[in-house]
Structure 1
């Protein structure tokens, strides 16, 4: 007999019976909360002796496959000798239009009833399917009684329909486990420090711990984390997520998996690409009338899943698109459905850490069997602040009110919100508060309730301004539920507007809270430096493992120079000619391809305009704001080793070209960093500074110095990518010679010379 396969009843019946189309017309974002409340309302009416939220499980043999079924039924009613399983479904539909109940809902109740009847030795049992209308809270119930023999036939039929898919999953799992046994590291030898990192990751995963690893450029972080994680699957760890902020690092992860596949690994992974990026249509409108890939999606998706899981292993964006077109299914939803079935998932941070888009079907049990690999983890600090902050503007409410002056209920709710905004604007209170304005929050909640009723009405197209305001308000309320001492309520007044923001100062507790249910978490980067700062900001604690290794490259591979010219804003006009001359001097002294980084687009453009291009025998290119993928690739494509004329690329510190790119050998001769990368002074940065000062830390370093230097480390890290690389690194700013900045230098940069 094959290994047993565990499956939730809901997952089983949805696979077999779900049909129809994707339709992402408006759905109340509070629907899950409303659904829970309505379930609880009905369950409170249960008589004494009845049960609610009952976990059921049991084993059923279908052919040579043993299924371990489990799930939580909404309720069990006991009435003398009669036992009835109840399945409750909240619905936005009018109750009058529901005539007999959905087959998928009946099947769910029938499976629960079968497990309960077997457990209690019942010869017959009832199933009650209850629908509750969201708006009116009216209910309609359907009841049916089954013999145990009838339920046995129904459940057997469901499992027979699922068995071909189960066999595919079991075969893939068996092949994976066999391949892992003899899987070898895909290189003849480990680089310096690489074996230690791989060992640390393996130990962390096996022991169900968290690891924070600073592994410098050249360590081979991707393969050093993926290889031991895959090996740990042989010890019963069944899934991993490789999360990152950059598209390029997702590609590196795919390449690492190809190397492991070359060593014999039989294993399936999928890369998730954002809906807007992968959508085949001109506009992302997920409705069957507009999109043929949404129309009938659930009628075709099972065949599409079986096809791709039979024939593919490393399922990249290109492969997803190919099979999605073949089966006429939405490529984004296809990748999401696959993410629950494969061994590994490569995706953006937000699918794990952002509650707005996180993978909802990944329950706590699934998380407990999953390892998180968080690449370029230094980026998660800033992204965490963004994900756990939210803002609203008075002007956005005013605009929507002007659009619908005749809409009574909506107009009244917006008037109440605007009244709260005007009161806040007139108050003499502080712009930074440690508590949310409750009156504003109450008026916003009323706006949501009325907006959802109106948005739920069919036959009316609501404009983008209204939809955007609705989503912003939902996000604001969601973040208000996370409000803690690490948040501030920030009020920004201007002559014609008012903005309120829930600002996350320190995301560490929320990051830790999200990661906690997972089996293991590996936070790694080439620049978790200074380590104590990132360890704290990423939620590290005493129980977590820490790992720091030196660069695998020789110090002689870097030729580091510091040119102490002020780049402070007040000095820029005066010093810009010296800076451009320094750039020209470096290039003419050491010909080759260069990347030159500036702290802002404006500063970069000024330097580009001042540069004496006639003195440089080179092609000069400059990063533009909001470059699309094709433009980024074209920019990097200019950096070739066999060019007749070298290329000099102007780019922005902390931007798309400052991390995650590999320009090995003569593709890059030198990197010049202008400035120390300090974030622009702002109210938010000052809040961060004051917060950490109050905790007895150096707030200026937390708010400005450390984030700034991380950009510098990342940009400088583009230079040396292999044992053969040699290059010039020039740092232009007089602050680099101060004790604070010298103490932060990477070890391999400490042999610098001062340029005068």
Structure 2
């Protein structure tokens, strides 16, 4: 039995025309729901027979397909001896101007409900009523017509016939896919150490509709070890769709390569990699209006043919494939990718498509429970990313710009902006040393934002030019984002105000994203979160939506421990007030490490300034050593040039100065002799600031681990990520030098991974010489 909601049937078959991505009121759905309840109550008062929210379903057979067509009618009532189905639609259009042909999808939806009711009750005819209600002037208009049961049945038959080509395509593909999965074997000759354990844990997690947090060191092969069992589970009908979630482009590419490897072994599977609208858009500006974008105009008239052709010709919908198909059929590439995602078995995408309250894919997650599986790669990144996604800020400067540009054009706008400006100034006066921390939800300020949004919505309706790209629309959307986060505000939030001579910024800051992430994970049936640096596991489970029932797993490194030399120079202080006096010692330590073995090395620093100061002194002391330094805001091309300097088997050593936690300390693979050493300066603590202290204070109250949660754990995660650049495969051999006195402290030693069992603590240069000589000569 194939479940087929009426709305899904109608929207799939009857969509047509342009994409018109104008503004949408944040209250549109709420206003519609209120209007529905108002009209339903009013109708019951007028007509005793009126029943609201009537559940309808009927079994419908088309050829060899059996559907359960179902939905919920807004109302059923009897008038003058005839039974009517009432379909309520809200609008802002003057209802007096509406004709019978205003929107054929409205009639189609109501006629489907009429057909089902006739079939359920063996009726020969039924009345169909469309009720249009203007949510602004409260005017209502009804359009009604009597239909015979046979006529409605023929209408539904045509819809189902047209829909069935998509359903049959999906079912045929599913059968072929599942057959190929049955014969799929693990795509490598053997499992590495820990790899089978991870694969089994992932499969059992999916089988048990559970969630697991896995620390899997570099080299285990996390991507294939989670994808392979997930695909096996899919072949056994334990899941209908996979979401492979990543924070970086490079990990998306690894997932794509894993699928390609399995396809070469006979796997039939459709995958899509989603690219952000701003990146994939063909136009100079991302304005989804038919009068601006030729791809938006008539998009829905052409997109079905495009999707069908893509499904016939491709199994991997990469960015290049999506762009190629979209260009050929003149359709929007982003909307095409979303349509293809509905027909794909695995969606490879950024975290925000599942977790961000302002951007998640509602087409998948608006129906409650699902059988989706979430595979979250490099999940340590989700802590900071989720805090960003669940937080929002608004500045006095943003709104002052609107006040200045539109002064005198709308009295209501002038008044609300004056009140908002006063509120900003009131917050500013309460700040001490430029900061204000307020644990309560700023209800009065949010009410002002609500009023501002309402006035903007009215102006956008009255002046079409405002709905085009510009500062007015940009600030309007910023306010909507702020309000949506305001709706999430609870005891895990704080209102954080910062001010200086130029501006006042009010931030709704999510300190602990646990609850919101847990709710997001509940949109799927099971989740596997994995990272090489889930240390400590309890911290990540606590922040990333975990509860007592969720499992944790920590795996050993698959690589020979003898191939990695860990040295800790714990007699050097890199604390902020001692950094200047440490510069000479650090330069000499770098030289000592590099002089023992010709090769490529990376040196990581906690800040650009510290890096620049040491780099300048190092070049002065050791001009004979080849060196280069990371620049801030490097372009994609500049990053590639930087990494291209790391050659295999170099004839002279290269020392690269980089920032800890930056683009070169995570997500890069310099295999073999391209990188043989990492020297990590400091313990990577985040910069001391008010926001980190807010996190510290919150968790001190919660579990007395505030400093750990705000500083130590995030810092050590950056250290472990940087150290992980050295050993990338079984044959790699290299050294990691840790430089900071705190590496000798017990609380830091307790965070070392298990394969760092033999850390060599050195107090002078001769000890460094001895350890390195023994290691490289072994």
Tell me the TM-score normalized by structure 2: 0.93
In structure 2, the partner of 1:174 is 175
Measure, in 1, the Cα distance between the counterparts of 2:652 and 2:324: 39
Structure 2 CA distance for partners of 1:516 and 1:732, relative to 1, 3 Å: same
Residues 50-129 of structure 1 mapped to structure 2, 5 A cutoff: 50-79=50-79, 81-100=81-100, 101-129=102-130
Task: Give the aligned length.
Answer: 753
* Deviation for aligned residue 1:642: 5.1
* Deviation for aligned residue 1:444: 1.4
More displaced stretch, 593-602 vs 706-715 = 593-602
Aligned residue for 2:729, secondary structure, equals coil
Structure 2 CA distance for partners of 1:428 and 1:493, relative to 1, 3 Å: closer
Asked whether the equivalents of residues 401 and 414 of structure 1 are also in contact (C-alpha less than 8 Å), the reply is yes
Q: In the alignment, which of 610, 621, 629 is matched to residue 622 of structure 1?
A: 629
Asked whether the equivalents of residues 5 and 166 of structure 1 are also in contact (C-alpha less than 8 Å), the reply is no
More displaced stretch, 31-40 vs 299-308 = 31-40
In structure 2, the partner of 1:322 is 324
In structure 2, the partner of 1:459 is 464
Asked whether the equivalents of residues 365 and 523 of structure 2 are also in contact (C-alpha less than 8 Å), the reply is no
In structure 1, the partner of 2:531 is 525
In structure 2, the partner of 1:249 is 251
Aligned residue for 2:482, secondary structure, equals helix
Q: In the alignment, which of 579, 586, 611 is matched to residue 579 of structure 1?
A: 586
Measure, in 2, the Cα distance between the counterparts of 1:523 and 1:439: 39
* Deviation for aligned residue 1:603: 2.5
In structure 1, the partner of 2:311 is 309
1:417 paired to 2:420:
yes
Measure, in 1, the Cα distance between the counterparts of 2:413 and 2:730: 65
Measure, in 1, the Cα distance between the counterparts of 2:290 and 2:631: 37
Aligned residue for 2:225, secondary structure, equals helix
* Deviation for aligned residue 1:204: 0.8
* Deviation for aligned residue 1:315: 1.4
Asked whether the equivalents of residues 372 and 526 of structure 2 are also in contact (C-alpha less than 8 Å), the reply is yes
Structure 2 CA distance for partners of 1:164 and 1:566, relative to 1, 3 Å: same
Measure, in 1, the Cα distance between the counterparts of 2:465 and 2:169: 45
In structure 2, the partner of 1:722 is 729
Q: Structure 2 unaligned segments of length 5 or more: list them.
A: 765-778
Asked whether the equivalents of residues 673 and 712 of structure 1 are also in contact (C-alpha less than 8 Å), the reply is yes
Structure 2 CA distance for partners of 1:581 and 1:162, relative to 1, 3 Å: same
Aligned residue for 1:131, secondary structure, equals strand
Asked whether the equivalents of residues 489 and 502 of structure 1 are also in contact (C-alpha less than 8 Å), the reply is yes
Aligned residue for 2:86, secondary structure, equals strand
Structure 2 CA distance for partners of 1:647 and 1:329, relative to 1, 3 Å: farther
Q: In the alignment, which of 585, 596, 605 is matched to residue 598 of structure 1?
A: 605
Structure 2 CA distance for partners of 1:411 and 1:734, relative to 1, 3 Å: same
Q: In the alignment, which of 348, 351, 354 is matched to residue 352 of structure 1?
A: 354
Asked whether the equivalents of residues 126 and 146 of structure 1 are also in contact (C-alpha less than 8 Å), the reply is yes
Asked whether the equivalents of residues 431 and 497 of structure 2 are also in contact (C-alpha less than 8 Å), the reply is no
Structure 2 CA distance for partners of 1:80 and 1:558, relative to 1, 3 Å: farther
Measure, in 2, the Cα distance between the counterparts of 1:497 and 1:181: 62
Measure, in 1, the Cα distance between the counterparts of 2:374 and 2:319: 21
CA-based RMSD of the aligned residues comes to 2.1
Asked whether the equivalents of residues 554 and 748 of structure 1 are also in contact (C-alpha less than 8 Å), the reply is no
Measure, in 2, the Cα distance between the counterparts of 1:675 and 1:134: 60
In structure 2, the partner of 1:509 is 515
Structure 2 CA distance for partners of 1:113 and 1:638, relative to 1, 3 Å: farther
Measure, in 2, the Cα distance between the counterparts of 1:618 and 1:156: 78
* Deviation for aligned residue 1:660: 2.2
Measure, in 2, the Cα distance between the counterparts of 1:631 and 1:331: 28
1:13 paired to 2:19:
no
Measure, in 1, the Cα distance between the counterparts of 2:708 and 2:573: 19
1:744 paired to 2:759:
no
Measure, in 1, the Cα distance between the counterparts of 2:58 and 2:481: 40
In structure 2, the partner of 1:607 is 614
Aligned residue for 2:428, secondary structure, equals helix
1:45 paired to 2:42:
yes
Aligned residue for 1:431, secondary structure, equals strand
Asked whether the equivalents of residues 598 and 651 of structure 2 are also in contact (C-alpha less than 8 Å), the reply is no
Structure 2 CA distance for partners of 1:446 and 1:644, relative to 1, 3 Å: same
Structure 2 CA distance for partners of 1:680 and 1:123, relative to 1, 3 Å: same
Asked whether the equivalents of residues 492 and 510 of structure 2 are also in contact (C-alpha less than 8 Å), the reply is yes
In structure 1, the partner of 2:226 is 225
1:186 paired to 2:174:
no
Residues 170-569 of structure 1 mapped to structure 2, 5 A cutoff: 170-236=171-237, 237-363=239-365, 365=367, 367-407=369-409, 408-427=411-430, 431-461=436-466, 464-564=470-570, 565-569=572-576
Measure, in 1, the Cα distance between the counterparts of 2:52 and 2:597: 75
Measure, in 1, the Cα distance between the counterparts of 2:431 and 2:274: 48
Structure 2 CA distance for partners of 1:320 and 1:621, relative to 1, 3 Å: farther
* Deviation for aligned residue 1:644: 5.2
Measure, in 1, the Cα distance between the counterparts of 2:294 and 2:515: 43
Deviations 1:480-506 (A, max 9, x none): 111111111222233443222211111
* Deviation for aligned residue 1:87: 2.3
Aligned residue for 2:358, secondary structure, equals coil
Aligned residue for 1:264, secondary structure, equals coil
More displaced stretch, 319-328 vs 93-102 = 93-102
Asked whether the equivalents of residues 270 and 345 of structure 1 are also in contact (C-alpha less than 8 Å), the reply is yes
Asked whether the equivalents of residues 271 and 345 of structure 2 are also in contact (C-alpha less than 8 Å), the reply is yes
Aligned residue for 1:744, secondary structure, equals coil
Asked whether the equivalents of residues 617 and 645 of structure 1 are also in contact (C-alpha less than 8 Å), the reply is no
Structure 2 CA distance for partners of 1:293 and 1:67, relative to 1, 3 Å: same
In structure 1, the partner of 2:773 is none
Structure 2 CA distance for partners of 1:114 and 1:567, relative to 1, 3 Å: same
Aligned residue for 1:361, secondary structure, equals helix
Deviations 1:198-217 (A, max 9, x none): 11111110111111111111
* Deviation for aligned residue 1:336: 1.3
Structure 2 CA distance for partners of 1:164 and 1:575, relative to 1, 3 Å: same
Aligned residue for 1:725, secondary structure, equals coil
Where in structure 1 do 4 or more consecutive aligned residues deviate above 6 Å? none
1:672 paired to 2:675:
no
Structure 2 CA distance for partners of 1:157 and 1:713, relative to 1, 3 Å: same
Residues 681-692 of structure 1 mapped to structure 2, 5 A cutoff: 681-692=688-699
Structure 2 CA distance for partners of 1:134 and 1:597, relative to 1, 3 Å: farther
Asked whether the equivalents of residues 271 and 347 of structure 2 are also in contact (C-alpha less than 8 Å), the reply is yes
In structure 1, the partner of 2:772 is none
Measure, in 1, the Cα distance between the counterparts of 2:616 and 2:27: 52
Aligned residue for 1:111, secondary structure, equals helix
Structure 2 CA distance for partners of 1:548 and 1:589, relative to 1, 3 Å: same
Structure 2 CA distance for partners of 1:546 and 1:328, relative to 1, 3 Å: same
Measure, in 2, the Cα distance between the counterparts of 1:67 and 1:611: 73
More displaced stretch, 469-478 vs 223-232 = 469-478
* Deviation for aligned residue 1:77: 2.7
Aligned residue for 2:191, secondary structure, equals coil
Structure 2 CA distance for partners of 1:595 and 1:139, relative to 1, 3 Å: farther
* Deviation for aligned residue 1:727: 0.9
Deviations 1:666-694 (A, max 9, x none): 22111121211111111111111111111
* Deviation for aligned residue 1:303: 0.8
Aligned residue for 2:548, secondary structure, equals coil
